[in-house]
Structure 1
Amino acid sequence: MSEQLPVVIIGAGPQGLAAAAHLLERGIEPVVLEKGFGAGAAVSEWGHVRLFSEWPELVDQASRRLLEQGGWAAPLTGYPTGGEWVKEYLAPLAAALGSRVRTSATVTGVSRVGRDRVVDSGRASQPFTVHMQHADGSEGRLLARAVLDASGTWEQPNPAGAEGLPALDERAAAAAGQVEYRIPASVSELSGKHVVVVGSGHSAAHAVIRLAGLVQREPGTRVDWAIRRGTLAGFGSADDQLAARGALGGRARKVVEDGRVNLVPGFRTAEIRQDDEGLALVSDDGQEITGVNHVFALTGFRPELSFLSEVRTALDPSLQAVAGLASEIDPNVHSCGTVRATGALELAQPEPGFYIIGAKSYGRAPTFLALTGYEQVRSVVAELAGDHEAAARNELVLPDSGVCGGSADLDGGSCCAPAARQSVEIGSRPLIPLG
């Protein structure tokens, strides 16, 4: 019975849609469930952000083959925005998949037919059951031979608070619209204001660069960049083999060096309180940034795990990443050139037939690449199809980032050895994590 059921994919982002295309090539029917109103809904929300990689590096190969059957031609040059990626690739791909992509369907739970997570007896022989809620509030469920969770992390931004929890009164400031967790599409309304960017990744760098332009146009504008680490050393390295990503970091460093943005290193936010002049950010060691009008907290993302409570998962206790790949991506120990492509072996879960893929597989780790997700998809689908040789094969060589981040260099040290050059087959990394 199970062999005649579809594979259910949660999320119609780049990896989810690619998984459907690979399954079709293998003769396996997919069903893609997307909570948004259209394919690439999360990407559309950062549609104003330009990606690091050119078009040839952003298209999954099985997806390309499916699209070309309908006369589609892949864009050949240029760095698209998220919106262009959706319009010119993800939306046509979803259209080619047709009714297999079901939108406005929020997955609320995954389990086995007649079994909660405690029951061993007959578990592996039972189909999966995927519960969902539709936009009108009605509920439904699908039976599946396997489930791929490609739901990403976009809807779970990390807080400004350095302890992983919202800083004191952060929720109140966010509810008042004074704290945001997304890269701004426009900053013109912040003219003449005091703005703080919290975070030291590429999303934060993008926001800092935009705000620095506003400072140049409107000299009364003030921008502080609060980072938890002690330095920006290594950020924007010339060794980054994704040149646009390295250039972004270099531009962010330059606006600090030029004095348009004030860097506040070693600042670990503990409280965001209202004062007479606006907001005051207070660090855990008593530092204060006062008179703040607006905060952009761009400190990364984390996975939503609540709807997986009835399937058996193996997740790393610190990163909330898939346990089988956590040691490869842990920023506490990771040296920049060591992350390799991962496939079905590393992504396997205690629940046979269930896989977490894409950005969600990396949990809270900041190093996910879209190309990594495409390789994951190829390998996992091969495994589901019984092609174990293809599943075990590595068809991808990852680029060297040339930079490190995360808690390993929280106090100003570096986790990086000198960067070693590697050959690159394909590559993509947007300014924000991909779902």
Structure 2
Amino acid sequence: MTLLDLTPRPVTTDRLAALPVLIIGAGPIGLAAAAHLVERGIQFTVLEAGDTVASSVRRWGHTRLFSPWRHLIDPASRRLLERAGWTPPTDEGASPTGGELVNDYLAPLGALPEIASRIRFGVRVVAVTREGMDRTRSAGRAATPFLLRLHTADGDVEEITGRAVIDASGTYTTPNPLASTGLDPLGADAVSARVMHALPDVRGVDRARFEGAHTVVVGAGHSAANTLIALAELTAENPATRVTWLIRHPSAVRVSSSPDDELSDRAELGSRVERLVGSGRVALVDSFEISRLSLHEEAVRIIGRRRGEDAFLDADVIVNATGFRPDLSMLREVRLELDEVVEAPKRLAPLIDPNLHSCGTVAPHGFTELRHPEEGFFVVGMKSYGRAPTFLLATGYEQVRSVTAWLDDDLPAATQVELTLPATGVCSTDVGGSGACCA
């Protein structure tokens, strides 16, 4: 009888160094991380659930960003592209649509041979752990490879290993629920066909869902504002179309309309919505706490409380523009240190907590603020902000510059973080009011 030697063997650092960095997500931040790793000569693999780069951005490609081109292009990505003969946008002060961002920047970046050859499409990461270890085992943990379990488009399940993990999977596919409790409203499953994701293509492919219908847009941020403007334009073409803006707070605290906002398109977005409300083309219902949805005759009835009393509102279509939250289910076996309020990394959270900050300005931060007890694991991009809504792409680009420098043992570059963001000029806005200026 042969006895097996089951004594755990330590993983050599040589083996760990030979493995690639695993990047989850081929959106703007994941591709930027790839570009920085190319420049540093570090092997990597990008794992993308969609069948193209920036698959989530493509879903809202009809929407215009309020940031201009000069804030949307990662410096390392620009260097790689220009060496390949890419021509940057002519007017870098203009704000592109999501589709233009993809076509003119992200798709060419993802097509560069040094990046394209390292992207795997149609693979969804369902779990992150350490090879041979659950989260309770500590001995030799930092020297043990990460192991990712993948579901492929063919229905197969496989596992791959890496020396580090950069989670840039974003939050667009995990919206916040409609109920004010943070849960799905009671009865939500029965009316799910009537509830649409944020940023639908109101005047394009989704037009038939909205024309001649009463749409209730739920949310107090810029996604809601974009949809309200598109719906109001539709009412001008078809007067039977009606629009109601339902917010769960007393005011639309995240829609800026200040002339001091350095992002003029963002300020104009808020101003346009205010004008639509003032003219009556958009009906505003504030302070509505949603608890239940039900079918009522041919409509969806939204049931809740408003200013201490029972209330309801009927709609043909509901647009859920309540924001997004990180999907943490795949990280159950990773040692995370998350803030208990916003679900962002503990050191980053005080800089972005929406209870304290609503300006969209944030102190420079990098690998130090993004680190978790799990050595070599980082959440970056929109997902790193947890439930906070103030993320800008420029912030994510600086994050991955710092993280990739740390992975390259370049501590001086990793710790020297710099970030210049456009000032918002306004912390909050009451519809019809002047708002409050930032300190």
Q: TM-score, normalised by structure 2?
A: 0.90
CA distance in 2, matches of 1:184, 1:123: 44
| Residues 341-350 or 82-91, more deviating | 82-91
1:356 corresponds in structure 2 to 379
How far does the alpha carbon of each residue in 1:306-336 deviate from its partner, in whole angstroms, 9 at most, with x for none? Answer: 1111111111122111111111111112252
Out of 243, 256, 259, the position equivalent to 2:280 is 259
SS of the residue corresponding to residue 142 of structure 2 reads coil
Bigger relative CO (Cα 8 Å, ≥ 6 apart): 1
Deviation at 1:287, TM superposition (A): 4.5
1:235 corresponds in structure 2 to 256
Q: Which of the two has higher C-alpha Rg?
A: 2
How far does the alpha carbon of each residue in 1:332-366 deviate from its partner, in whole angstroms, 9 at most, with x for none? Answer: 12252752232111001100100000000001111
SS of the residue corresponding to residue 276 of structure 2 reads helix
1:128 corresponds in structure 2 to 146
Corresponding position: 1:221 with 2:244: no
Structure 2: runs of 5+ lacking an equivalent: 1-14
2:26 corresponds in structure 1 to 12
Deviation at 1:171, TM superposition (A): 2.3
Corresponding position: 1:418 with 2:437: yes
CA distance in 2, matches of 1:51, 1:15: 16
CA distance in 2, matches of 1:125, 1:154: 33
- Counterparts of 1:314-329 in structure 2 under 5 Å? 314-329=337-352
1:153 corresponds in structure 2 to 171
Out of 356, 378, 396, the position equivalent to 1:333 is 356
CA distance in 2, matches of 1:277, 1:21: 51
How far does the alpha carbon of each residue in 1:167-205 deviate from its partner, in whole angstroms, 9 at most, with x for none? Answer: 12122211xx21112212125422332211110100001
Deviation at 1:367, TM superposition (A): 0.7
2:123 corresponds in structure 1 to 105
CA distance in 1, matches of 2:64, 2:358: 27
Contact 1:55–1:76 at 8 Å: present in 2 too? no
Out of 53, 66, 71, the position equivalent to 1:39 is 53
CA distance in 1, matches of 2:35, 2:122: 21
CA distance in 1, matches of 2:82, 2:56: 25
CA distance in 1, matches of 2:18, 2:348: 31
Q: CA RMSD in A?
A: 2.1
- Counterparts of 1:35-434 in structure 2 under 5 Å? 35-77=49-91, 78-96=94-112, 97-174=115-192, 177-187=193-203, 188-189=207-208, 190-232=210-252, 235-284=256-305, 285-334=308-357, 336=359, 339-404=362-427, 418-419=437-438
Aligned residue identity for 2:29: Q
Aligned residue identity for 1:372: T
CA distance in 1, matches of 2:361, 2:216: 33
Deviation at 1:147, TM superposition (A): 0.5
SS of the residue corresponding to residue 141 of structure 2 reads coil
Change (3 A) 1:104 1:140: same
Aligned residue identity for 1:81: T
1:431 corresponds in structure 2 to none
CA distance in 1, matches of 2:190, 2:298: 17
CA distance in 2, matches of 1:417, 1:193: 35
How far does the alpha carbon of each residue in 1:238-290 deviate from its partner, in whole angstroms, 9 at most, with x for none? Answer: 22211111111111111001110111111111112211251221223444344
CA distance in 2, matches of 1:301, 1:401: 21
Deviation at 1:383, TM superposition (A): 1.0
SS of the residue corresponding to residue 280 of structure 1 reads strand
CA distance in 2, matches of 1:417, 1:208: 23
Deviation at 1:23, TM superposition (A): 0.8
SS of the residue corresponding to residue 124 of structure 1 reads helix
Change (3 A) 1:183 1:337: closer
Deviation at 1:417, TM superposition (A): 6.1
CA distance in 1, matches of 2:236, 2:211: 10
Structure 1: runs of 5+ lacking an equivalent: 421-435
1:2 corresponds in structure 2 to 16
Identical-pair percentage: 48
CA distance in 1, matches of 2:256, 2:129: 43
Q: TM-score, normalised by structure 1?
A: 0.90
Change (3 A) 1:413 1:118: farther
CA distance in 1, matches of 2:148, 2:184: 32
Contact 2:198–2:224 at 8 Å: present in 1 too? no
SS of the residue corresponding to residue 268 of structure 1 reads strand
Q: May I ask how many residue pairs the two structures share in their alignment?
A: 413
